[in-house]
Amino acid sequence: MGDKAGTRVFKKSSPNCKLTVYLGKRDFVDHLNHVDPVDGVLLVDPEYLKDRKVFVTLTCAFRYGREDLDVLGLSFRKDLYISTIQAFPPPQQEKKPLSHLQERLLKKLGQHAYPFNFTIPQNLPCSVTLQPGPEDTGKACGVDYELRAFCAKTAEEKIHQRNSVHLVIRKVQYAPEKPGPQPMVETSRSFLMSDRSLHLEASLDKELYYHGEPISVNVQVTNNSTKTVKRVKISVRQYADICLFSMAQYKCPVAQVEADDQVSPSSTSCHVYTLTPMLGSNREKRGLALDGKLKHEDTNLASSTIVKEGANKEMMGILVSYRVKVKLVVSLGGDVAVELPFVLMHPKPTDQTSSQPQSIAPEADVAVATNLIEFDMNTPSQVDDFVFEDFARLRLTGMKDEDEPFC
């Protein structure tokens, strides 16, 4: 026995245990020029299937209304992408090359195991969940990806819960290797009965921040007017563009600082303010965009969306961006404000075989990562070195799971 940890594989079986799906990971990375393929293995019971087939469907859907409001055939859900393949019996067509994980799983699981592959189109959105309110029930609004395997004679046949498997996966993006230029903005404001103006200059120390990392905002005020700056308000705002039947934008402050730093006429001021946008201090805000959430796991604020040039935004579901707003409260003269856009994302992991986002400074209440998969490429003899982890919690004998199909 060596001290090497085995390859971690996720699995989930149908309630009657006649169908089992194996996946090496739950997060699939959008690299802008391609998306990680969804490749897994299906284990079937041929005696149970008889003359039926096994199909696997990948669906990307945008739910824009509460699930308990789906009545009279009206569903607050828009399917952005659906792809169905026949996994058993395997079709007589050109077979796709198998991944290293698939080869190992097929060798371990035996003759009744069959591979399947999906390619997620690049123009589809990343997984985003809109934070529900305390009174909301059912599935949360947002964009999610679902993998479904089921037994039927045809793909159009009604799917039964007892012989089907439902798995929620995520499409994620990592921070770009080359960040953009340092954000900086300035503005001047003239007032009535004042010959000279108030000048505001604001900047960030960089354009790209990781989740949990503090943001430093440099604010410089040159007050040549006759007005007095009473307070300085700094806020980090999340903007969510909803791309459905029409475009709509929602904004929500996720971090705020207010300072009584007065700037008298004919004087200057220079201060650095620090803010850290985190989910922990925003859990009561309904509709806040979060990174796609897997059941029974915590998540974080939604990452900034990087859109490939020329992409159709109508298919993107939810586009997330962030800005820092700097506002000067001027006595008897109105407010002076500027905004600084920046990018908030997860760093690209150093271990390329792992696709679980890692924060540079994780929040205290974030659950441990559950999508780590490690391959030891130098030890091909360790064919059976797997660690299987169930997608679902253990079901009680005889208990139906219609109420929680995504456990």
Report DSSP letters for 1-12, one per residue.
--SPPPEEEEEE
Tokens of 157: 């046949």
The predicted structure's pLDDT at residue 310: 67
DSSP H/E element including 254: strand 247-259
For 338, the enclosing helix (H) or strand (E) is strand 334-345
What Rg value do the Cα atoms of the chain yield, rounded? 26
Q: Are 226 and 191 in contact (CB under 8 A)?
A: yes
**Residue 348: C-alpha distances to residues 29, 154, 227, 345 (Å):** 10, 41, 48, 9
pLDDT score at 321: 92
Integer Cα distance of 27 and 297 in angstroms? 13
How confident is the model at residue 356, as a pLDDT? 43
Q: Which residues lie below 8 Å from residue 309, measured CB to CB, with a gap of 6+?
A: none
**Beta strands 27-29 and 164-172, pairing class:** parallel
- Whether 27 and 109 have beta carbons less than 8 Å apart is answered as no
pTM check: above 0.85? no
Candidates 197, 207, 273; CA nearest to 235 is 273
H or E stretch including 104?
A: helix 100-109
First to last CA, the chain: 33
Specify the DSSP class assigned to residue 300.
-
**pLDDT score, position 2:** 45
The pLDDT score that the predictor gives to residue 377 is: 39
Number of other residues whose CB lies within 10 A of the CB of residue 150:
23
Q: Give me the pLDDT at residue 79, please.
A: 83
Q: What is the pLDDT of residue 404?
A: 37
Contact 38, 120 (CB under 8 A): yes
Residues 6+ apart with CB under 8 A from 132: 140, 141, 286
Alpha-carbon distance of 16 to 395, in angstroms, equals 11
| Three-class secondary structure of residue 162 per DSSP | helix
Q: Is 315 helix (H, G, I), strand (E, B) or coil?
A: helix
Tokens of 67: 């699930």
At 218 the pLDDT is 95
Q: Chunked in runs of 10, what are the mean pLDDT values of the chain (407 residues)?
A: 63 87 88 86 85 89 66 68 86 79 87 89 85 71 88 84 87 86 91 81 93 93 88 93 75 91 89 91 86 71 83 74 93 85 87 45 41 40 59 42 37
pLDDT attached to residue 153: 85
For residue 103, give the 3-state DSSP assignment.
helix
CA–CA distance, 209 with 276 (Å, rounded to integer): 10
